[in-house]
Amino acid sequence: MRATVDDELVVHGRVVGQRDRIARIVEVLGANGGPPYRVRFEDGHETVVSPGPDTVVRHRDPAS
């Protein structure tokens, strides 16, 4: 997994009815864009994560 600042992590819900959570990457702490990442969730909560298999990176649009 590789990401840059301002990419989004989409953490898929693990059980029926649980919604996906989206977090914006505010700092890449690993080498060459790898985890762990400091992220900010939609509710403002910040934490450091090492994404699991239920997480995908949504890369920002370089044109924006």
Please give the chain's pLDDT, 64 residues, in tens: 899 999 999 998 778 888 899 999 999 999 999 999 999 999 999 999 999 898 999 998 766 5
Contact, 6 vs 24, CB < 8 A?
Answer: yes
Q: Are 9 and 53 in contact (CB under 8 A)?
A: no
Q: Which domain holds residue 26?
A: 8-58
Q: Is residue 64 part of a domain?
A: no
Q: Report the residue count for the chain.
A: 64
Domain count, the chain: 1
Q: Is residue 1 part of a domain?
A: no
Cα(1)–Cα(9) distance, integer angstroms: 11
Does residue 48 fall inside a structural domain? yes
Is residue 63, in this structure, part of any structural domain at all?
Answer: no
Residue 3 lies in a domain: no
Quote the tokens at residue 50: 């090492």
